[in-house]
Amino acid sequence: MDSELYRFVVKDQKGKEHSLKEYEGKVLLIVNTATGCGFTPQYKALEELYRKYGPKGFVILDFPCNQFAGQAPGNDEEIHSFCTLKYDVSFPQFHKIEVNGKNADPLFVYLKRQRRGFLSGRIKWNFTKFLVSREGKVVARFAPSTKPEKLEKKIVSLLGEEE
């Protein structure tokens, strides 16, 4: 597998760099999140999917983003603390980033190029979700309003599992 996706390096919420090559062969759901958003309760369903399918090769990569109405205030440690205390989040969380504009994180520039949104490539709000196959191909993009549980069939299919 030589997917372009695995060439990206991202920082976790403690500032440590991680190559996405660490996730090669896994089904990924990459999400830009916020702790003070109307969609924040999606953390609960995301965590449920992660616990159910994580052992089968599914990983959620969480990238907090404060670009939309300042809905991800606080530093990385505060965001992580909120997510673990309120939603018992155990999937990988990364450094707060921007997803649009001149300071957009290169990973999200790539994701948007692979799967454009409705009418444009821009991300419209927090909790936009990108589903990635085991081969590193961005196979789908979901709107913030798409509930995580609605992705379960696609995740199961990519994992090669029977429901």
37 among known catalytic residues: yes
pLDDT at 163 > cutoff 50: no
We report the CATH number of the domain holding residue 155 as 3.40.30.10
pLDDT > 70 fraction of the chain, expressed in percent and rounded:
94
Backbone angles phi, psi at 73, to 5 degrees: -70, 165
- Residues 78-101: tens digit of each pLDDT: 999 998 999 999 999 999 999 999
pLDDT at 156 > cutoff 50: yes
Residue 95 to residues 79, 105, 110: CA-CA distances in angstroms? 10, 10, 17
Quote the number of domains for the chain. 1
pLDDT at 120 > cutoff 80: no
- Amino acid (one-letter) located at 117: G
Do 65 and 40 form a contact (C-beta atoms < 8 A)?
A: no
Give the position of tokens 């916020």. Answer: 34
Neighbours of 145 (CB within 10 A): 13
Per-residue pLDDT averaged across 38-45, rounded? 94
Check residue 76 and give its pLDDT: 87
Return the CA Rg of the chain: 14
Q: Which of 28, 29, 37, 132 is catalytic?
A: 37
Segments forming the whole domain that contains residue 133: 4-159
Per-residue pLDDT averaged across 56-78, rounded? 91
